[in-house]
Amino acid sequence: MPDFAEMFKNYKGNTAISAGEQFNPSPANIEAKTVRSAIGPIKLAMLPKKTRGGLVSVVLQVHSETKSLSLGTTMPRGLPETCL
């Protein structure tokens, strides 16, 4: 049987990570914290908050009523599949 005490005698573990913030997910709170912006024809809605470990999460949704995007280009074949 291996000597686990000897194997882990110098183990220090991970450094502490930030806990993030407590967030009330009520519709009113989400709306109050949502920051809206636009880059040209692209509309943005961002919900800034401190996250556990300072990690960033992005969800991108592209809505188009026609096969061509509003930017005057067509969507490349296979693009939705590669984004998943």
Q: What is the pLDDT of residues 43-56, one digit of tens each?
A: 889 888 888 888 88
Q: Identify the pLDDT of residue 51.
A: 83
Interval 29-46 mean pLDDT: 90
Is pLDDT at 73 greater than 60 in this prediction?
Answer: no
- Spatial CB neighbours of 17, under 8 Å, sequence gap ≥ 6: 52, 53, 54
Interval 55-84 mean pLDDT: 62
DSSP string of the chain? ---HHHHTTT---PPP----------HHHHHHH-EEEEETTEEEEE-----GGG----------SSSB-TTS-BPPTTHHHHH-
pLDDT class of 84 with cuts at 50, 70, 90 = very low
pLDDT class of 31 with cuts at 50, 70, 90 = very high
Please report where in the chains the tokens 């912006």 appear, as a residue. 37
